[in-house]
Amino acid sequence: MRSEMRSSTARVRSRAAVLSGAIAALLSAGVLAAGPANASDEGVYSYTSSKGGYGFAHYTSDASGYGATLRACDRGTPDGLRAVAEVWRNSDGGGYYEVSDANGSNGDCVSAHIPEPAKGQYMKLRSCLRDRATGYDQYCRTITFVLT
């Protein structure tokens, strides 16, 4: 009986060693690596138009230093208004970027790759609906976030 217990204990230890070795190998190969330590992922919806359309502004960045993405999504009932996404530095209004979806609530998104400001800055992200390319912004909603 004791020899069976030792044999069973040895198998459990052996399996544990194999498993921990496999996990260590996957970690070192980057297969089980955690996501980026520092990344911003922010979004804001506009208010809904009288016809039921609304926009969504989305800002994402990653820790790799390859910049950020600004996206405008046109959602809801088609209303003839275009979704607009804007982002800028809160401190001085600089670093302003805008992207718009011109075809009026057909459910798609338009994105642009933009330079990423330094980490730790306060940023503004705004989602609006715009009447025509040169029209005025309406139904806007703005958030403030810290770039991480």
Question: Which tokens sit at 74?
Answer: 């046109």
Report the distance separating Cα 107 and Cα 73, nearest Å. 7
Tell me: the pLDDT tens digits for 14-66?
444 443 444 444 334 433 344 444 578 999 999 999 999 999 999 998 766 67
Name residues whose C-beta falls within 8 Å of residue 115's C-beta, 6 or more positions apart in sequence: 67, 68, 95
pTM beyond 0.85, yes or no: no
- Residue 29 DSSP SS3: helix
How many residues in total does the chain contain?
A: 148
Report the distance separating Cα 51 and Cα 81, nearest Å. 10
Q: Tell me the average pLDDT across 70-86.
A: 93
